Amino acid sequence: MSFETWDGDDESAAGRFVPLYVLVNGRTSPRDSTLDLATQVVALPVDTRRLEPEYLEIVRRCAGWISVAEIGAYLRLPLAITKVMVDVLVEQGYLAVGTPAQQKIIDTHVLDQVIAGLERL
């Protein structure tokens, strides 16, 4: 698998390490992706015959809900690449996206569940 890369510098000073921005299918990452590392995705029941092997491998991993970080870890793909590839699959209707972790949503009901879940551990 080969990727074109470009060095998308932030406002950072010279000499500081920043993520390597990636170009996949003409898309850059991670800036135009709203996917979080913890966001989970799942495969939709659609025809995958036209997918390239690298993409098919991701879809296969998504038979059950799985996070972007887990996909990256299992397939040994750098995070920036995983994110764009997952995003492409979401956009093309191969994957559905779950509810991301979001600070703004004041959902104490979910946090109550988390506490109960931790207590059960």
Partner 1 sequence: MDRTSVKIVVAGGFGTGKTTLVASVSEIPPLTTEEILTEASLGVDDTTGVEGKSTTTVALDFGRITISPDVVLYLFGTPGQDRFWFMWDELAQGAVGAIVLVDTRRLDTSFPAVDYFERRGIPFVTAVNRFFGECDYTEDEIRGALELDSRVPLVWCDARDKESSKLALITLVRHAMARLKVKA
Hey, how many other C-beta atoms are within 10 angstroms of the C-beta on 8? Answer: 16
> Given the complex with partner 1, which of 39 and 55 has the nearer CB atom?
39
Hey, how many other C-beta atoms are within 10 angstroms of the C-beta on 90? Answer: 18
Q: Is residue 15 near partner 1 by the rule CB under 8 A?
A: yes
- Of 45-53, 54-62, 87-95, 111-119, the window that binds partner 1 (rule: CB under 8 A) is 111-119
Q: Is residue 29 near partner 1 by the rule CB under 8 A?
A: no
Q: What number of chain residues touch partner 1 (CB under 8 A)?
A: 53
**Shortest Cβ 41–partner 1 spacing (Å):** 9
**Shortest Cβ 48–partner 1 spacing (Å):** 19
Q: How far apart are CA 36 and CA 68, in angstroms?
A: 7
Q: Name residue 5's amino acid.
A: T
Q: How far apart are CA 94 and CA 24, in angstroms?
A: 17
DSSP-derived letter for residue 58 is H
Q: Is residue 115 near partner 1 by the rule CB under 8 A?
A: yes
Residues of this chain, 44-103, that bind partner 1 according to CB under 8 A = 65, 67, 69-70, 72-74, 76, 78-80, 82, 96, 98-103
Q: What is the sign of the dihedral through the CA atoms of 62, 64, 66 and 72? A: negative
